[in-house]
Chain A
Amino acid sequence: MIISALREIIERRNLLYMLTWRDIRVKYKESVMGILWAVMMPIVIVCAGMIVKFAFALMSGRPLQLLDVTSVAVKASPYAFIVAAIRFGTSSLITNTDLVTKIYMPRLSFPLAAVGSQLFDFTIAAVVVGIFLAFAHVGVSVHLLWLPLLIVTLVLLGAGLAILLSAATLFLRDVRFVVEALLTVAIFFTPVFYEPSLFGRWAPVLWANPLSPILEGFSSVVIHHQAPSLPWLAYSVVFSLGLFLLSIMRFKQIEPLFAESI
């Protein structure tokens, strides 16, 4: 079932490509700043992070370090990506009811395209962050080779959630609001502004958020030039891949009911 679903997506890759392209095009069309908006969200998060860090520094009497700022900068764009991917993915089916009820096509394309268009934003933001890090003399190391795995895990996690939530929203409209509420508070339960180690023996609670090992991984390999925490990263990879496959399976199971239940 999963294989046939993925094969269908690949056969109809032009559809996925066009939907992604449409989402990007429509978002930035007729906006003065255009794709500069793609960088906005990470910048806002970095600014907020700097304020938080600055406050921490004031309270603890420790001087604000460049490392703190770069770490937040590296974690901000993947975080912004996954939040947006979940948000747009969740509503991707109900905003396309016209197509879902009237024409047959692999509906998996909708949440995937929503994630894809956010991936485009993420790429732009990543380039900007890269330039910033180059100016901050962060340097490079062999550990950067971990990046592809981290990015794939991040995308799988976002796509899995987007697929599952988009279908759930068709049947229960409340899902969208629940997701919105959770995304609002998510920043407190995800190590973007701080490290899990800050919480001492409660750290595993934070690590249990499958997003944490990924974000910490980014920070480790880019800023600290270290390998990521392997057990936790393995947990994250298994979780994300498992969620992705299960989501596709569940999605395909209930897909025949889509047209009737909208």
Chain B
Amino acid sequence: MNDYALEVEAVSKRFNRGERNTSLRDSVPALARRLLGRAPVEAARQKAFWALDDVSFQVKRGEAFGIIGGNGAGKSTILKLLTGIMQPTKGRIRTRGRVSALIEVGAGFHRDLTGRENVFMNGAILGLTRQEIQKRFDAIVAFSGLEDFIDTPVKRYSSGMFARLGFSVAAHVDPDVLLVDEVLSVGDYVFQRKCIERMGAVIASGVTIVFVSHNLRELANLCPRSLLLEKGKVQVIGDTEDVIRTYFGRGQQPRVPDSSSGVLITKVTVEDEHGPAVEFASGDKLRVTVEAAGITRHDDMSVVIQIVDDHQYPVFDTCTQRLGAGELTLDQDQTLRCTFEMDCSLAQGTFHVSAFLHRYLTNHPYDRWIAAATFFVSGAPEARGVVTLHPKLTQCEIGPSEGALVEGRRAAHE
């Protein structure tokens, strides 16, 4: 007997892109056409697309496993197949034990029912018996922090309260396998920390977890092993740090430019001293090069670059204007190329570079490219946070007692 909680074997899932016939008015002519022969079947096949294509992976019991991928990569489809909401078109999925999903928190809440009633309702939906809910009820309410509102109909809740209660119920189901999809961004910062701590506790208690998130830092913290999914295909499975590196290291995605702008950012590259790079050590030189092409004449431009961290928090920005270059003029059919050189005083993490062409002295953008490039910083083990201030320990010694103050404290202690 093997020790896998989840086994996904060569699973493919096909969806129909077109609209299905959901009313008689549409389906009667469609049926007639089918009876008369040909076309529709062929058309349907053409409209079909594969959301998942030959995906295989295994998750060991007690493992925390991450799934990474851009929008439309098929992450949510995998989770839906794992929960049994949908069936795979091809391939096989085996699960062991109770599978529960933290996917849509608060799904099934009824607006007219009170918080208490909804906890019982939602618990039943998630597969708990009445006794099990009763046993967990206090913990659920305490976790949500909604003790004072538990007998209020949830229609009077704020959206944050709603989501908090939903998460609290879902987080107390105690399944054998827990599927988590982007739900840790619920509530305020304090509640989010609580959710992530809860996840950590759940993992520690030996529950198998499959985690889908765009918050790659949290994902890397929780899951040692991950899978990178792209257009329904498995790109790589392995150590999460490596997978994230592969995810961002694939180079720039082609961009669909805004046709109305008269200038266009054509390329944004991140380099170290030796050339294009995605990995930096804290303290390295970091060069960002922005290339642009003129379509119509602009004589009042500045180039802005911005670095944001994984939470989209702006860490740093600079521009040609502040660095002493005057108004840049770009005529049609001319190209612009400017390189910013910086000291990479960032702490460990993932960072994204955005580039903007602004009208000089204003923030009116002619063109912009959000998250045009991504890079990683490693090293700086002494620092936590976004930047490193290059700390040095200049004093750390133990001396004699400070006298009166300490004496008083000690008395209080005893």
Contact = CB atoms under 8 A, between A and B. Distances in A.
B23 A172 contact: yes
A18 B120 contact: yes
Contacts of A105: 125, 127
B314 interface: no
Interface of A: 12, 14-15, 17-19, 22, 25-26, 29-30, 96, 98-99, 101-105, 171-174, 256, 259-261
Given A14-B129, A103-B103, A104-B85, 16 more contacts: A15-B124, A17-B124, A17-B130, A22-B110, A26-B110, A26-B112, A96-B108, A98-B107, A99-B108, A99-B125, A101-B85, A103-B104, A103-B126, A105-B127, A172-B24, A172-B27
A22 B113 CA distance: 8
A172 B22 contact: yes
A169 to B, nearest CB: 10
A18 B22 contact: no
Nearest to B27: A172
A152 B361 CA distance: 80
Chief secondary structure at chain B's binding surface: loop
A5 to B, nearest CB: 14
Contact of B128 (A14, A102, A173): A14
Contact of B25 (A19, A174, A259, A260): A174
B126 to A, nearest CB: 7
A173 B101 CA distance: 29
Interface in B22-63: 22-25, 27
Nearest to B133: A14
A104 to B, nearest CB: 4
A22 B120 CA distance: 10
Closest 3 CB pairs of A and B: A18-B124, A256-B87, A174-B24
Contacts of A22: 110, 113, 117, 121
A166 B46 CA distance: 30
A30 B112 contact: yes
B110 A103 contact: no
B326 interface: no
Contacts of A25: 113, 117
9 contacts: A18-B121, A26-B110, A98-B107, A99-B108, A102-B107, A104-B101, A172-B21, A172-B22, A259-B86
A96 B107 CA distance: 10
Interface in B224-267: none
A104 B83 CA distance: 6
A204 B129 CA distance: 48
A103 B107 contact: yes
Interface string B153-167: 000000000000000
B84 interface: yes
Given A102-B104, A256-B87, A173 B110 contact: no
A110 to B, nearest CB: 11
A190 B169 CA distance: 47
B107 A260 contact: no
A91 to B, nearest CB: 15
B135 interface: no
Interface in B77-116: 80, 83-87, 99, 101, 103-104, 107-108, 110, 112-113
Interface residues of B, number: 33
A30 B113 CA distance: 11
Contacts of B112: 26, 29-30
Interface of B: 15, 20-25, 27, 80, 83-87, 99, 101, 103-104, 107-108, 110, 112-113, 117, 120-121, 124-130
A57 B113 CA distance: 49
A171 B80 contact: no
B108 A98 contact: yes
Contact of B23 (A96, A103, A104, A174): A174
Q: Which of A96, A99, A102, A261 has the most CB of B within 10 A?
A: A102
A98 B121 CA distance: 14
A15 B107 contact: no
Contacts of B121: 18, 22
B317 to A, nearest CB: 39
A103 B113 contact: no
Contact of B108 (A29, A103, A104, A173): A103
B24 to A, nearest CB: 4
A244 to B, nearest CB: 24
A173 B113 contact: no
Contacts of B124: 12, 14-15, 17-19
Given A102-B85, A104-B83, A261 B103 contact: no
B299 to A, nearest CB: 54
Contacts of B128: 14
A25 B116 CA distance: 13
Contacts of A171: 22
A171 B129 CA distance: 32
A259 B85 contact: yes
A133 to B, nearest CB: 35
Nearest to B104: A102
B366 to A, nearest CB: 42
Contacts of A14: 124, 128-130
Contact of A103 (B21, B85, B86, B129): B85
Contact of B125 (A26, A103, A173): A103
